[in-house]
Amino acid sequence: MTSVVARIPGDRPVFSVEFMPPRDDADERRLWNSIRSLEGLDPAFVSVTYGAGGSSRDRTIRTTGRVVRETTLVSMAHLTAVDHSVAELRNVIGWYAELGVRNVLALRGDPPGDPMGEWVMHPEGLEYAEELVRLVRELGDFCVGVSAFPYGHPRSADLDTDTDYLVRKLRAGADFAIAQLFFEADDFLRMRDRVAARGCDALLVPGVMPLTTPKIMSKTVELSGAQVPRALADRLGPLTDDPKAFRAAGMDVTEELSRRLLAEGVPCLHFYTFNLSKATKEMVARLGLVPARPETRANLRPVG
């Protein structure tokens, strides 16, 4: 399977998408409608998340495997260290390899039940994401990604300390990092500068979520750990009771953010979809990231 980094050429901007494993049959239908809808736009890769404490491990593996078998998409699987022994992690990595998955996002993960709860290492597990990166590297020819935090991880003492941890993960063998959500392009660009100042030139990919509803904006606050900037609150706050107007303005905000990132040389935008495709399709069209003649890569390799 093609690696994530090979799918990000650098001579032209591309996009990728992130899905969640389905919770039930209705969610599975919605997910696969989205996958099929986006497949023809040829995203650089797609990823499937992995629940805290392995809560959605089996669904993640099943969904990732189905993407590999039934689509032309390049798939990246998530893997977390939380609540897993090294033996269990080895098994999961082996399952991914057997499925043909060669791209893994290695995460320490949040404590199950309470993401901000106390981190407790499994007695036979791993404590840091960099250890998981090394384990994945030891077990096969994988392209490995890690997470990055523009505002710093909630458990980091400060941004400099957090940047040191990110660089350690990258130097442990990670090929790239995907940034958690942020509100302003400068938040990501400053993080990129901090990493570069440490002599690390690894690929950094920003995570973007189209601001289509007040709920999505609240989710961005939750995932980023940062409050909505005053200018953005003033722009979108008065529209919270007008869904159509909020969506229109939120999509404009997302486009402006994305255009600034692309202008600053970001080679790939990673869109969080919530298993829906409409907003992502609209955004990549606005940004000109859709191929001139959208088509799948079915003619390049068989599906099976």
> 83 in helix, strand or coil?
coil
CA pseudo-torsion sign 36, 206, 289, 79: negative
Distance between CA atoms of 230 and 66, rounded to whole angstroms?
43
In angstroms, the Cα distances linking 276 to 34, 158, 159, 219 are: 5, 35, 33, 15
CA distance 241 to 283: 23
Catalytic residue among 18, 39, 130, 131: 18
Structure-block tokens of residue 226: 């940062």
- Contact, 162 vs 153, CB < 8 A? yes
CA–CA distance, 260 with 224 (Å, rounded to integer)? 19
Q: Name the DSSP class of 101.
A: -
Tokens of 293: 């003649």
| Short-list 272, 288, 276, 282, CA closest to 207 | 272
Q: For this structure, is 18 an active site residue?
A: yes
CA geometry: angle 35, 63, 175, nearest 5 deg: 85
What are 261's two structure tokens? 């990132």
The count of other CB atoms within 10 Å of the CB of residue 221 is: 13
Q: Going by C-beta distance under 8 Å and a sequence separation of 6 or more, which residues neighbour residue 32?
A: none
Which residues are the active-site residues? 18
